[in-house]
Amino acid sequence: MANMTATASEGIELTCGMSGRHRFIFTLVPVVYGFNFVIGVVGNSMVVAVIYRYMKLKAVANIFVLNLAISDLTFLITLPMWATVTATGYYWPFGSFLCKACAGLVIFNLYTSIFFLTALSIDRYLAIVHPVRSRRYRTVGYAHISCVLVWIFAFVLSVPTALTRDVHSIVNGTTVCGILHSKDAPRPDNLLLAISLMKSLLGFLVPFLIIITCYCLIGRALMTSRHIQKSVRSRDDEVLRMLAAAVLAFFLCWAPHQVVHFLQVLNQMKVLKDCSILDIIDTAMPFTICIAYFNSCVNPIVYGFVGANFRKNLLRLLCCAQRGIPLPHPSISSKMSALSYRASEALSLTTKSKTSSADSK
């Protein structure tokens, strides 16, 4: 929320922020949230199913992509609540706990998404630039440990956001989920300012510097090494293109929100005080949030268009579902393949023995 001051008995009075003045926000934003929810849940569920059923979880990149899809799904379950709240003029009927939990999940998804993309970039750098030396580190065990650390670190970073959110009563009788900023405070709240700066630095700028550095080193290595086998190069190039598209999508989705969020930080630091500028910030914020939330459903689209291997396995999944064929567990499928191979081998040996015995007669 914008700057708010407490009154004696009527609740909180908005002194400058104009959130809610533009009525079209209450119609357009919930529709976008609903679209993001449907597309995101369906798409990320397919990603989880395809990777679990058909693609090897022994590949480090697949483990990170699977965790990224699970992260998006955990966030997407909150979108129906945000759509309901926006459609009712930011009225929050779900209580204090869900206010804190949903706000925390938004930031949690921001951190997990960028951290898993960063981990994927580092993995591609090690696989392409240092394929031999990195073999001892690029294992399934280390990948699982890295995922656990990402989940824990992102959770720790999102806890302060959850704790600072609460339910507040506005002077017009509306109950909202937001942050209370004091109008008369001589300086900004240090905790809120630290949370905002962490969101900009750890949730956007620092990971992107790491990702860009990895890509520059990968590009230089690919330009200088022409002796790599064609099959290996094609596989690395496909994963690299898919990762580049996912990183670009994250940047395009989150950059507008980060710009508006930075303007909010300037407002917290008392650099921006003009109510007309704050009106622009409060009006733009819901739409930049819509674009940012769209990132949770764009990753499956990226995998489908860029990743040929993922697209092939997705078609297998859809064909089995359309025909009503139960999807076999990967271990069962591999055992059945081995048994069928042994059966065909035994059948060929029997045929050969019968033919040889017939020739001897």
pLDDT tens-place string over residues 271-305: 777 777 777 888 888 889 889 888 888 877 787 66
Give the angle subtended at the CA of 328 by the CAs of 322 and 332, to the nearest 5°: 165
User: Whole-angstrom Cα distance, residue 101 to residue 205?
Assistant: 25
pLDDT of residue 10: 44
Is residue 259's pLDDT more than 60? yes
Q: What is the mean pLDDT of residues 6-16?
A: 45
Q: What is the mean pLDDT of residues 38-48?
A: 90
In which band, very low, low, confident or very high, does the pLDDT at 158 lie, cut at 50, 70 and 90? very high
Q: What is the mean pLDDT of residues 175-203?
A: 77
Q: Are 314 and 46 in contact, with CB atoms under 8 Å apart?
A: yes
Distances 28 to 15, 24, 34 between C-alpha atoms, Å: 26, 6, 10
Q: Are 264 and 200 in contact, with CB atoms under 8 Å apart?
A: no
Q: What is the mean pLDDT of residues 101-115?
A: 93
Beta bridge partners of 167: 177
What are the φ and ψ backbone dihedral angles of 154, each rounded to 5 degrees?
Answer: -65, -40
Six token digits for residue 44: 């990320």
Distances 8 to 5, 12, 15, 90, 170 between C-alpha atoms, Å: 10, 9, 15, 23, 12
Q: Please name which of 160, 162, 153, 77 lies closest in space to residue 118, comparing C-alpha atoms.
A: 153
pLDDT of residue 228: 53
Six token digits for residue 13: 């009075």
Q: Is 189 helix (H, G, I), strand (E, B) or coil?
A: coil
User: Whole-angstrom Cα distance, residue 246 to residue 234?
Assistant: 18
Is residue 196's pLDDT more than 60? yes
pLDDT of residue 322: 60
Q: Are 101 and 155 in contact, with CB atoms under 8 Å apart?
A: no
Q: Please name which of 124, 103, 83, 133 lies closest in space to residue 247, comparing C-alpha atoms.
A: 124
Which of 101-115, 154-168, 257-271 has the lowest average pLDDT? Answer: 257-271
User: Whole-angstrom Cα distance, residue 234 to residue 163?
Assistant: 47
Residue that wins the pLDDT comparison between 44 and 246: 44
Handedness of CA 20, 287, 40, 115 (dihedral sign): negative
Which of 53-62, 322-331, 348-357 has the lowest average pLDDT? Answer: 348-357
pLDDT of residue 350: 44
pLDDT of residue 231: 52
Is residue 145's pLDDT more than 80? yes
Q: Which helix (H) or strand (E) holds 178?
A: strand 175-178
Residue that wins the pLDDT comparison between 322 and 50: 50
Q: Please name which of 302, 131, 82, 120 lies closest in space to residue 229, comparing C-alpha atoms.
A: 131
- What is the average pLDDT score of the chain? 77
pLDDT of residue 73: 92
- Say what the pTM is: 0.77
Q: Please name which of 306, 331, 304 lies closest in space to residue 318, comparing C-alpha atoms.
A: 304
What are the φ and ψ backbone dihedral angles of 37, each rounded to 5 degrees?
Answer: -65, -50
User: Whole-angstrom Cα distance, residue 36 to residue 149?
Assistant: 28
Is residue 348's pLDDT more than 60? no
- pLDDT-above-70 percentage for the chain: 72
Instruction: Give the position of tokens 């949903």.
Output: 102
